[in-house]
Amino acid sequence: MTDVAAICGQLLVGGFDGTTLPREMAVELAAGRRAGVILFKRNLEQRDGELAVEPLVALNAAIHSATARWDEPPFVSVDQEGGKVARLRAPVLSLPPMRTVAAKGDIGLTERLGAELGRQLAALGFNLDFAPVMDVDSNPANPIIGDRAFGSDPRTVMRHGVAFVRGLQSAGVLACAKHYPGHGDTAVDSHLELPVVDASASRLAEIELPPFRAASGAGVASMMTAHVVVRGLDPDVPATFSRRICTELLRGEIGFEGVLFSDDLEMGAIAKHGTIEDAAVRSVAAGCDVLLVCSDLDAQARAFDALVREASGSPAFLERCREAAGRSARIRAMAPPRVESDPARLRAILGSLSARELERKVAAGPS
């Protein structure tokens, strides 16, 4: 594989169907044409209403094995926020929506919940959780954020979001602040269509951006873009494709040094308005470091090929890809994924008294 292909492969994280690692994905991982994987409920077996732990451990071990010859570990990721966005069921720590967590008014509890979840995810072989949501729930008509956010006040979101980040990362799991620069003030689901935020730059600086500034200052390992047009920042371009938002603001003004993920490029907000090839190139050119293509293996291949073609013909784009690959490798080296291979120890981690006590405490209602 050429140097260009090796670089571009580190800019893609993909999903797949089934509860075992498909041969095609294993080949791409082994060849370095993917930076890692993201798992969903479709990848997990359920038994008697609970997560079947053994098949998940075997799947993650297979992912680790496929990438064993890499210099850097892979991303092994999942969306485990709590509430309605929780891919892993019991015996993994059961978290309510983050709004409920924040309503307890206990920053220490929020951090302990993040740390306990991080310990469990790490034992299962994950090293990246696409959480927490750092959006401010400022629009009651929003169909996609709602109680996933810590609240409608930026200070609440900042304080509890940073606490959750610290908890997760203290346990060796990379956190991801999403959906930058803010998806809270929308009335359209970006899974389906492209939302527009009409807020002014001054309102964005007061409401939407402070949680992301706080997360950056607290050392969050990664952020994820919103597929949203933000008129007050870049009037015509979705944030995922906006150099003004992804580079000038995030890197130059906020000072974020971690990895910027795109949200899934197969979502309607992007897929209905162009090809996956165009989306991949535009996202990286704007400043995204790693692209999510969460379902379609063929779409992942086409995105990879498009990145290689563009990088092969453009020295400036190749340099942008090198920068992105460097950031990707740096944070993966911070949290190499390891499955807890001893079944008894794994059961003890998932069934710990501290986890059950935290579940009881957070379910008890507001303080």
Identified catalytic residue from 153, 189, 191, 273: 191
What span, in angstroms and rounded, lies between the C-alpha atoms of 356 and 213?
A: 33
Name the residue among 121, 79, 122, 116 with its Cα closest to residue 101: 116
Helix (H, G, I), strand (E, B) or coil at 181: coil
Hey, CA dihedral for 92, 333, 30, 3, is it positive or negative? Answer: positive
User: Which tokens go with 245?
Assistant: 């938002």
Report d(CA 81, CA 97) in Å as an integer.
8
Q: Answer yes or no: 191 catalytic.
A: yes
Count the helices and strands in the chain (H runs, E runs). 15, 14
184 vs 287: CA distance, rounded Å: 22
Nearest to 129 by CA among 183, 160, 172: 172
**Coil/strand/helix, residue 205:** helix
Q: Which of 263, 264, 289, 296 is catalytic?
A: 263
DSSP 277-326: HHHHHHHHHHT-SBEEE-S-HHHHHHHHHHHHHHHHH-HHHHHHHHHHHH
Nearest to 194 by CA among 224, 225, 229: 229
Strand partners, 180: 225
Is residue 351 within 8 Å of 90, Cβ to Cβ?
Answer: no
Which positions are catalytic? 191, 263
